Amino acid sequence: MVRLSDLPSDEQAHLTGKALPPLGPPVWTTPIEPLKNMRLALITTAGLHLRGDPLFEFADGTYRPIPNHTAPRDIIMSHSSVNFDRTGFSEDINLVFPIDRFRELLDQGMLGSLADFHYSFMGAGLEPQAFEKGAAQVAGLLKQDQVDAVLLTPV
Amino acid sequence: MSALGYYLERAGIATTGISLVREHTAQLRPPRSLWVSFPLGRPLGIPNDAEFQHAVIKAALELFEEASGPVLRDYPIDAPEVAIESAPACPVNFQRQSGSWQDRLASELSLTSPWYEIGLDKRAGRTLVGASTSHIHEILQRFGEDLDAHRIPADLKWFKASIEDAKTYYLEALSAEPGRHNARQLYRKLWHETELGRALGLFHAMFMDHPQRAGFARILLPRDAQSSIDDTMN
């Protein structure tokens, strides 16, 4: 089990040291289809991208597309933070980017379809508001792809 | 993470997300979040455990059934750390090397590389090494040249990617044996028993002393290693 209280004191201080006011008034989009009819995408802030794509910079609000049929061995990570464990992700891509689990749900008829493209940001070194522009661009791309909903995974 | 959920939802895309730091999510108030007690770096809990991962995903997707939000639900199941005594032993017998930094890192690489290759086979050819444009031999050679000259690397973009590759190479070698590993044990080995760990500790100290480059130091060592590694550097 890991809670903030279980982390070293310097790690706790870092994670709780920022005041993070709400980003704005509450937002809510009600899905219009049941899950079994939805088209889903994965979005992570783990700093993932295809081998050969530009690496994420030290602080970087941009994003990288990950085609749905990308093989796990073609995906690498260039995240600036050194304060999280990478060894689990080395063992299993699904620990951070659960693409195989999504394919299994699709095969079981639990999901309608998967997006043609998933996306990764790199969540380090910037205030939350720095992701507003990239998120708006990705929202447009998701709509072009007829995506209904997204599962977001941090790292 | 929370910010992306907020902005995507505002643009009309329904979102649900996993939260690793409950305090941040509670402040930023994205529409739907499932807080999990798992370690940073492991949002789905346990590697190579599809059943466990499916249960987490199911709980996150169930938040789409909520009528209104923001919703922040606590996932009730922990992902216990693998006990050190039941984790596979480290296959590499690291020893303090002597000579120049170039020699020390080259000698250590000759011990490590067979296990990296074994780990590569275990993972069916998948590796996270590949951020840098350079091969591991060139990476460690250039690290050694800079340390022997006591200078910080000139090309920071190359250095950032190469640090990532060097650490990943070692960790994938250290975890080459089949079985579930204890991540803290692997990192402790990396930082406290390897010449690479000592090299990165020395780079960290050099960056910290540099008037314009101190900010770079924080991507060299995790916060919990910065103080403890000092004793092993020299």
| B143-176 pLDDT tens trace | 999 999 999 999 999 999 999 999 999 999 999 9
Contact list, A102 vs chain B (CB under 8 Å): 57
Average pLDDT over residues A30-35: 94
Q: How far is CA A72 from the centre of its chain?
A: 15
Place of tokens 């100290």: B205
Beta-carbon contacts of residue B214 (< 8 Å; ≥ 6 apart): B207, B208
Residue A55 inside a domain? The answer is yes
- Identify the pLDDT of residue B160: 94
Q: Does A58 touch chain B (CB under 8 A)?
A: yes
Residue A17 inside a domain? The answer is no
Residue A148 inside a domain? The answer is yes
Residue of A nearest to B80 (CA): A1
Contact at 8 Å (CB) between B170 and B192?
Answer: no
B15 → closest Cβ in A77, A87, A150:
A150
- Identify the pLDDT of residue B234: 43
- CB-defined contacts A:B, below 8 A: 254
Question: What's the gap in Å between the CA of A127 and the closest CA on chain B?
Answer: 9
Whole-angstrom distance, CA of residue A94 vs CA of residue A154: 12
Residue A115 inside a domain? The answer is yes
Residue A54: exposure state from Cβ atoms within 10 A (0-12, 13-18, ≥19): exposed
Average pLDDT over residues A32-51: 97
- Identify the pLDDT of residue A8: 66
Decide if pLDDT at A150 tops 90. Answer: yes
Entry pTM: 0.93
Contact at 8 Å (CB) between A150 and B19?
Answer: no
Contact list, A45 vs chain B (CB under 8 Å): 1, 4
Whole-angstrom distance, CA of residue A29 vs CA of residue B63: 12
The amino acid sitting at B55 is A
Q: What region does B99 belong to: left with phi over 0, alpha with psi -120 to 50, or beta?
A: left
The amino acid sitting at B187 is Y
Look up residue A123 and give its two tokens. 């969540």
Percent residues over pLDDT 70 in chain A: 88
Decide if pLDDT at A29 tops 80. Answer: yes
The amino acid sitting at B141 is Q
Please work out, in degrees rounded to the nearest 5, the angle formed at the alpha carbon of residue A121 by the alpha carbons of B11 and A14: 105
Asked if A151 lies within 8 A of B130 by C-beta distance, the reply is no
* Residues in chain A, total: 155
Residue A111 inside a domain? The answer is yes
Among residues B68, B75, B63, B71, the alpha carbon closest in space to that of B30 is found at B71
Residue A22 inside a domain? The answer is no
Whole-angstrom distance, CA of residue B234 vs CA of residue B231: 7
Question: What's the gap in Å between the CA of B33 and the closest CA on chain A?
Answer: 9
Which range of residues forms the domain containing residue A76? Answer: 33-153
pLDDT tens for A76-135 read 999 988 889 999 999 999 999 999 999 999 999 999 999 999 999 998 878 888 899 999
Whole-angstrom distance, CA of residue A103 vs CA of residue A121: 22
- Identify the pLDDT of residue B229: 59
B19 → closest Cβ in A91, A102, A154:
A154
Low-confidence ranges of chain B (pLDDT < 50): 234
Decide if pLDDT at A14 tops 70. Answer: no
Residue A1 inside a domain? The answer is no
Element (H, E) at A76: strand A75-77
Residue A30: exposure state from Cβ atoms within 10 A (0-12, 13-18, ≥19): exposed
Among residues A65, A49, A48, the alpha carbon closest in space to that of A141 is found at A65
DSSP B217: G
Counting the structural domains of chain A, the total is: 1
DSSP A64: E
A2 → closest Cβ in B24, B37, B171:
B37
Residue A105 inside a domain? The answer is yes
